[in-house]
Structure 1
Amino acid sequence: MTDTSTAVPAATRQSIDTAAAHLKRRYRAERRFKAVGLGAILLAMGFLVLLLWTIISNGASAFMQTYIRVDVTFDAAAIDGDDLPGLVKSSIQQRFPAVESRSEKRELAGLLSSGADLDIRRALAADPSVKGTTQPLWMVASDDVDMAMKGYVSRQPGLAGNRLTDRQIAWLAELEAAGAVKKRFNTILLSSGDSREPELAGLWGAVVGSVFSLAITLLVSFPLGVATAVYLEEFAPKNRWTALIEVNINNLAAVPSVVFGLLGLAIFLNFLGMPRSAPLVGGLVLALICLPTIIIAGRAALKAVPPSIREAALGLGASKQQVVTDHVLPLAMPGIMTGTILGMAHALGETAPLLMIGMVAFIVDIPATPLDPSAVLPVQVYLWADSPERAFVERTSAAILVLLVFLGAMNLAAIMLRKKFERRW
């Protein structure tokens, strides 16, 4: 028998070995690329978890507030003379009768918030019959006492730089031993407006201002953005003018937001004379910021609708307007809603344009209408972050948490609407 097998030529074997080595290098490079991508994802998630943990750990304690129980004598003369701050001081001094000097009385009154008289006003409003009687009343503690009870301020006597004096630390320990100090849920934070005193500062004014501003933003930007996208994509002729408009819309999406703030300052405030620091002006400025995003996303969603939908509708005798309103626009609505979500989320976090139109002002009252002066949540975070008091540090983080919850609720509502309009073909 003859051997039909032949030896592989050396050149061929060398080519096979070279190709195998090259293939191994490609596989190693692919594994390295995957590892780098996975590492980038893990690193980004780590930074995100660290950020959220820092915000939550700093801000969670702000949702609790320290209160001190004081036996208040609702003296008719002090109430009729509207001397409730004096009534607060005399009531807590009754708890420590040995305190006699003026400096000691001032330190003792410093255990309570400067707005503790508001607790007396609320008690009188809830039950006017307490007038002339002595009733136990839980009053808001000062920010230094609150920080000490939460462990952010030292309670060890004799330390240099203590926020509380040695006498205040001793009085606080005596009140705590008597069960006259406790922490409650901080309703002030979620029901009041801003204040110079951290323990009295709330977010409700900023929340209402944000709701008003975003409502105006949505009412202005959504119909204008959708109408513009429909016209440019479905009706506008393709010429140099529409091309110029498209280029400018794309460029507007990259314009810094502070430029829109300057535009709002020049047009809405100086030229039209609209009220300063009002959610109406803030909503209009934010609408200008949202418009390019909604228009671009709307046009992309309209392009994604299959041409067969338009052709079928036209073939059945529908007009161009009927094709757009009855067929194309409903199918493109989920994509348009996605663009609206992105635009509104962008608007919710904007601070610079709102600073330009005066929404950085210190405003205590809760706005009743979009024409009333108001703050918004991002600006409130900015204001509190610039405050030197330690208690404002936790309230800044708490405001960020409320802002994130507000953003999440808004996005959830928008996603539900998008799912409602979503259709499959």
Structure 2
Amino acid sequence: MQAHVSQNYLKKRAGRDKRFIAFSYAAILLAGAFLVFFFVDIVHSAWPAFEQAELRVEVNYNDQARKMGDNALDENVSYLVSRGFTRLIPNLLREDPSLLGTSEDKWVLADSEVDQYLKGKPNRLRKAERQLVDTMRAEGRARLAFNKGFFLNGDSKLPEMAGIWAAAVGSLYVLIITLAFSFPLGVATAIYLEEFAPDNRLMQVVEVNINNLAAIPSILFGLLGLSIFINFMGVPRSSALVGGLTLSLMTLPVIIISTRAAILAIPDSIREGALALGATRWQMVITNILPLSLPGILTGTIIGLARAIGETAPLMIVGMMAYIPEAPDGFTSAATVLPAQIYTWSSDSMRAFTERTSAGIIVLLAVMLLMNGAAIYLRNKYETKW
């Protein structure tokens, strides 16, 4: 009887194990399916943004073009050409008066509605305009070319002119500020807490609060940055400096926690050996602890920066959601960042901005994956096995 009960129990337990394994595989497959669907959808939506419609038209640099660029084009095609191009013609004539009275046949940027039509997407072109575009395409005067402007231009109200250059430069400036302030302060704090701080109630409170800061919503850091850096210290609003300082507050707990974990992973025998040879505690930290823990420190720092580059909420609070068509020329100039640029495009009503939103997400994901890949590479290459 007892053997029979044991057999039944073992069968039930084996059945539970099989069901658990099946549920685990199902969960992994479901998560993988969602991830694949996400990437396929984003790439499918973003791919058209890397191509831009161009028209080959004759540009006449006449007297009327000095006042209005539209007068330099044939009236039948002027409304198909981007206003971003026609607005530049008067400036070209002022900069180079020798162009006056000449003409040239050149490829120019097409309007966003023409661009959408050539890509087979919904557009607002009239029937006659579509027929004209079809005629130009048949004659080899309309094409889809690689969209260099997406990488070289700043933001624009015209979707065919909009690019990520200004946001990319702003993101770089913000990351430099974030790294410059959070890395040395975070590493120094972690070293003090692990190697020098006394084990008392005050230090325990500090450690608990550091762990709590790593988990609070990021928008609260934006409110803190607004109060301290803008209202109290007078740092310029919407600048890369205030954005970097705000993200430094958010990244600091991550660097402290990862640095402490890297230091804790070093065996006590390393410390005891250095101290036994006559090294002071500070010399032991500089010559033994810090070099051995550097791979873990760098990994945590890069992961913290990768999280910071994708943040939008704290930067909205400090004014970095502004329309910035030109790249910042310094840390105190008005700037925006890639996540803010993507959010701005996503809220625009024009259809052409939808594909640029997805393309911006692709660029941001690529940067974050590269940073996380670099963190994994550094950890695997330089990590010491004890």
TM-score (norm 1): 0.86
In 1, distance between residues paired with 2:88 and 2:370? Answer: 33
Shift of 1:280: 0.7
Letter paired with 2:26: G
Shift of 1:117: 2.4
Quick check: 1:189 aligned with 2:171? no
Shift of 1:111: 1.1
Q: Equivalent residue of 2:211, what SS?
A: helix
Deviations 1:275-312 (A, max 9, x none): 11111110000000011111111111111111111111
Deviations 1:36-93 (A, max 9, x none): 1111111111101101111100001100000011011222x346x3x352334xx232
2:115 aligned partner: 146
In 2, distance between residues paired with 1:125 and 1:397? Answer: 38
Contact 1:384–1:395 (Cα < 8 Å) also in 2: yes
2:219 aligned partner: 258
In 2, distance between residues paired with 1:125 and 1:210? Answer: 34
Letter paired with 1:147: Q
1:164 aligned partner: 125
Work out which of the residue numbers 42, 51, 58 in structure 2 matches 1:71: 58
Q: Equivalent residue of 2:160, what SS?
A: helix
In 2, distance between residues paired with 1:236 and 1:51? Answer: 47
Shift of 1:376: 0.3
In 1, distance between residues paired with 2:378 and 2:299? Answer: 10
1:142-291 matched pairs, under 5 angstroms: 142-153=111-122, 163-291=124-252
Deviations 1:306-349 (A, max 9, x none): 11111111111111111111111222222222221221121111
Q: 1:419 to 1:23 in 2, by over 3 A?
A: closer
Q: 1:423 to 1:131 in 2, by over 3 A?
A: farther
Shift of 1:419: 5.0
Contact 2:239–2:335 (Cα < 8 Å) also in 1: yes
1:370 aligned partner: 331
Work out which of the residue numbers 74, 81, 105 in structure 2 matches 1:92: 74
Work out which of the residue numbers 25, 29, 43 in structure 2 matches 1:38: 25
**RMSD, matched Cα:** 2.1
Q: Which has the larger radius of gyration?
A: 1
Work out which of the residue numbers 31, 43, 56 in structure 2 matches 1:56: 43
Quick check: 1:135 aligned with 2:117? no
Deviations 1:197-252 (A, max 9, x none): 10011100000000100111111111111100000010000001101111111111
Shift of 1:121: 7.5
TM-score (norm 2): 0.94
Quick check: 1:309 aligned with 2:258? no
In 2, distance between residues paired with 1:399 and 1:335? Answer: 31
Of residues 379-388 and 409-418 in structure 1, the stretch that sits farther from structure 2 once superposed is: 409-418
Contact 2:70–2:78 (Cα < 8 Å) also in 1: no
Deviations 1:367-400 (A, max 9, x none): 1111111110000111000000110000000000
Of residues 338-347 and 356-365 in structure 1, the stretch that sits farther from structure 2 once superposed is: 338-347
In 1, distance between residues paired with 2:14 and 2:125? Answer: 66
Q: Equivalent residue of 2:74, what SS?
A: helix
Quick check: 1:112 aligned with 2:81? yes
1:327-342 matched pairs, under 5 angstroms: 327-342=288-303
Contact 1:62–1:398 (Cα < 8 Å) also in 2: yes
Contact 1:119–1:139 (Cα < 8 Å) also in 2: no
In 2, distance between residues paired with 1:67 and 1:32? Answer: 58
In 1, distance between residues paired with 2:20 and 2:89? Answer: 67
Letter paired with 1:115: G
**What percent of counterpart residues are identical?**
47
In 1, distance between residues paired with 2:302 and 2:74? Answer: 53
Shift of 1:134: 2.2
In 2, distance between residues paired with 1:202 and 1:171? Answer: 28
Of residues 120-129 and 165-174 in structure 1, the stretch that sits farther from structure 2 once superposed is: 120-129
Q: Equivalent residue of 1:375, what SS?
A: coil
1:398 aligned partner: 359
Letter paired with 2:74: I
Letter paired with 2:224: L
User: In the comparison of the two structures, how many residue pairs are matched?
Assistant: 386
1:345 aligned partner: 306
Contact 1:330–1:421 (Cα < 8 Å) also in 2: no
In 1, distance between residues paired with 2:115 and 2:383? Answer: 50
In 1, distance between residues paired with 2:135 and 2:39? Answer: 37
Q: 1:128 to 1:249 in 2, by over 3 A?
A: same
Q: Equivalent residue of 1:54, what SS?
A: helix
In 2, distance between residues paired with 1:25 and 1:122? Answer: 82
In 2, distance between residues paired with 1:291 and 1:186? Answer: 38
1:11 aligned partner: none
In 2, distance between residues paired with 1:122 and 1:128? Answer: 10
